[in-house]
């Protein structure tokens, strides 16, 4: 008789639907229910490192902005440490490394304020270039899409990044790079996400 492996199966994903804001960002849905909404402050007041803003838009296969998307960000602090018990090192008090943003219902623009993360050790002694992990859910997306945001002013580190270098098609690597700009003294990185078609963003099975 063959033994049974007895693993459970992961609960299957379903789309977050058009009203994801009710559950995950009720203020944006037009009502207040919680004392404190989660995810609006990624870095906290004590985080070291460069304060930056990330902005972008998610574009569908017809070239139209996706106006009902929700994005979560997960990143290390400026020293490359994640706020998690399985990553060695301390983070600043109030640094969570996690954020949640929604798009403007009219324009599809989204953005968040944070600090630029440091490099993080990868597998087998490699070093990963500074990056922010993003997870995108919306109506029409059956399983949340994972991607990474890298920084345009980190050319040397990006060139050696083990994940960027996994992207065999070199012309697709640029879809992972946010472009640095200065706006009235504030550092703003632009990161547009293309779900489908020309210059489709690289998405990962993590």
Of residues 69-88, those binding other proteins (CB under 8 A): 72, 74, 76, 82-87
Considering the complex, state which of residue 27 and residue 181 has its C-beta at the smaller distance from other proteins: 27
In DSSP notation, 75-105 reads ---TTS--SSTTS-S---TT---EEEEE--T
Nearest to 20 by CA among 108, 138, 100, 175: 138
Positions in 84-143 near other proteins (CB under 8 A):
84-87, 96-98, 105, 120-125, 128, 131, 133, 135, 137-143
Considering the complex, state which of residue 9 and residue 183 has its C-beta at the smaller distance from other proteins: 9
Task: Show Cβ contacts of residue 159 under 8 Å, excluding neighbours closer than 6 positions.
Answer: none
Contacting residue, 2, 35, 184, 185, with other proteins by CB under 8 A: 35
| Rounded least distance, CB 186 to other proteins, Å | 26
From residue 44 to residue 73, the character string flagging contacts with other proteins as x (rule: CB under 8 A) and all else as - is ----------------xxx-x-x-x---x-
Give the separation between CA 147 and CA 176, rounded to whole angstroms: 8
Dihedral angle sign, alpha carbons of residues 93, 183, 60, 138: positive
Positions in 143-202 near other proteins (CB under 8 A):
143-145, 148, 163, 166-167, 172, 195-197, 200-202
Total residues binding other proteins (CB under 8 A): 81
Give the separation between CA 73 and CA 191, rounded to whole angstroms: 13
| Rounded least distance, CB 2 to other proteins, Å | 19
| Rounded least distance, CB 72 to other proteins, Å | 7
| Rounded least distance, CB 54 to other proteins, Å | 16
Number of neighbours of residue 136 by Cβ within 10 angstroms: 20
Q: What is the largest CA-CA distance in the chain?
A: 72
Give the separation between CA 117 and CA 127, rounded to whole angstroms: 13
| Rounded least distance, CB 188 to other proteins, Å | 23
């Amino acid at each position: 008789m063959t033994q049974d492996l007895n693993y459970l199966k992961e609960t299957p994903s379903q789309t977050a639907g058009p009203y994801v804001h009710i559950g995950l960002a009720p203020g944006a849905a037009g009502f207040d229910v919680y004392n404190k909404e989660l995810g609006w402050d990624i870095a906290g007041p004590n985080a070291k490192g460069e304060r930056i803003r990330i902005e972008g838009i998610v574009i569908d296969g017809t070239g139209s902005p996706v106006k009902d998307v929700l994005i979560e960000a997960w990143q290390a602090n400026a020293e490359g440490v994640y706020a998690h018990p399985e990553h060695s090192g301390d983070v600043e008090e109030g640094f969570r490394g996690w954020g949640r943003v929604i798009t403007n219902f009219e324009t599809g623009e989204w953005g968040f304020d944070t600090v630029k993360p440091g490099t993080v050790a990868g597998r087998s002694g490699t070093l990963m270039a500074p990056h922010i992990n993003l997870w995108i859910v919306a109506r029409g997306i059956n399983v949340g899409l994972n991607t990474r945001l890298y920084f345009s002013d980190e050319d040397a580190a990006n060139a050696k990044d083990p994940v960027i270098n996994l992207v065999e098609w070199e012309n697709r690597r640029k879809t992972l790079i946010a472009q640095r700009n200065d706006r009235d003294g504030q550092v703003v990185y632009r990161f547009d996400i293309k779900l489908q078609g020309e210059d489709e963003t690289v998405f990962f099975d993590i």
